[in-house]
Amino acid sequence: MPTILGQNQYGKAENRVVRITRDGDTHHIKDLNVSVALSGDMDDVHYSGSNANVLPTDTTKNTVFAFAKEHGIESAEQFGIHLARHFVTSQEPIKVARIRIEEYAWERIATSDGNSRFIGADEVQHSFVRKGQETRVSQITYDGEKWEVISGLKDLTVMNSTNSEFWGYVKDKYTTLKEAYDRILATDVSARWRYNWTDDGQRMPNWEKSYEQTRTHMLQAFAETYSLSLQQTLYQMGSRIINHRSEIDEIRFSLPNNHHFLVDLEPFGLKNDNEVYFAADRPYGLIEATVLRDGVEPKIPVDMTNL
């Protein structure tokens, strides 16, 4: 049976590029998921395996990261226009370039601290929270006598673009990790906190206010901790909540360490001065711990924060 080739396209999908623009101490983030799809005179590679017209998908990936450095990312549209124009005008066999971009929004974390690290209307210059992703959760248990209320949130994505180091760790023959003195610290916070309200005469907490205040303390502790490890940041977040919210006795966190690796741009003759990162989605470090009011029994199950 004779066959013929139909529509075809190729390229690197889902290039996760994070571009940080450093305007003095004020940093700006563009966080994109860029997918490249190219088509044109690609019959031969399908019919005979000749790669003569094939710009490698690996090259399309490199171009995305190099363009992030060379041209910056003013807007997703502008970045996509640059890329599409480049592929079609620089490679004769490529007739059509389709660039799909998803953009993930980040907001500055607000604080009332008067520290010089803050700008304008009490906004931190280098701490960001991903917009509109988090889910609020709660679990109420009643056995006819006692109540247990565990509340929390998940998918609260936060990032510090500086003020994070990681060094001085154990090194064995399998250790290749370089010590970091200025790295990105990013995580998707999953937390569950347990209220000490059991209804034996105690006043019920204001759940709405408690959630908002707990979330605010969590974010502010994340933003204001100069971090030597994600473990240390976790403990600061938890202890700040226990110290400020008397209605909460215990909080457990599950924090993936969302690694951001500096991209080597030397092969393209470009210097990467802590500006262009590859945002890896896996594997990730997973840091989990409970912070308790002194003298209180832990009751939040170990795996609950992964639900």
Applying CB under 6 A, does 257 fall inside the site for ligand URC? yes
Choose, by CB under 6 A, the member of 5, 119, 177, 302 that binds ligand URC.
177
Which of 230, 251 has the CB closer to ligand URC? 230
The phi, psi pair for 56, rounded to 5°, reads -60, 145
Choose, by CB under 6 A, the member of 82, 110, 285, 288 that binds ligand URC.
285
The whole-angstrom separation of Cα 208 and Cα 227 is: 30
Lookup: tokens for 104: 């993930």
Annotation says 259 is catalytic: yes
Angle between helices 207-224 and 230-244 (to 10 degrees): 140
Q: What is the dihedral of CA 252, 287, 260, 220, to 10 degrees?
A: 30
Q: Minimum Å distance from CB 183 to ligand URC?
A: 8
Applying CB under 6 A, does 149 fall inside the site for ligand URC? no
Applying CB under 6 A, does 229 fall inside the site for ligand URC? yes
Applying CB under 6 A, does 166 fall inside the site for ligand URC? yes
The whole-angstrom separation of Cα 258 and Cα 235 is: 18
Lookup: tokens for 98: 């389709």
Which of 280, 296 has the CB closer to ligand URC? 280
Q: Minimum Å distance from CB 231 to ligand URC?
A: 6
Q: Minimum Å distance from CB 258 to ligand URC?
A: 11
Which of 63, 236 has the CB closer to ligand URC? 236
Identity of the amino acid at 219: L
Q: 76 and 103 in contact (C-beta within 8 Å)?
A: yes
What is the size of the binding site for ligand URC (CB under 6 A)? Answer: 7
Annotation says 260 is catalytic: no
The whole-angstrom separation of Cα 69 and Cα 20 is: 9
The whole-angstrom separation of Cα 41 and Cα 53 is: 7
Q: Indicate which residue of 26, 57, 59, 216 is catalytic.
A: 57
Choose, by CB under 6 A, the member of 20, 230, 265, 300 that binds ligand URC.
230
Q: 57 and 105 in contact (C-beta within 8 Å)?
A: no
Q: Indicate which residue of 61, 154, 217, 259 is catalytic.
A: 259
Annotation says 12 is catalytic: yes
Which neighbouring-strand residues pair with 15? 34
| Residues belonging to the active site | 12, 57, 259
Q: Which residues bind ligand URC (CB under 6 A)?
A: 166, 177, 229-231, 257, 285
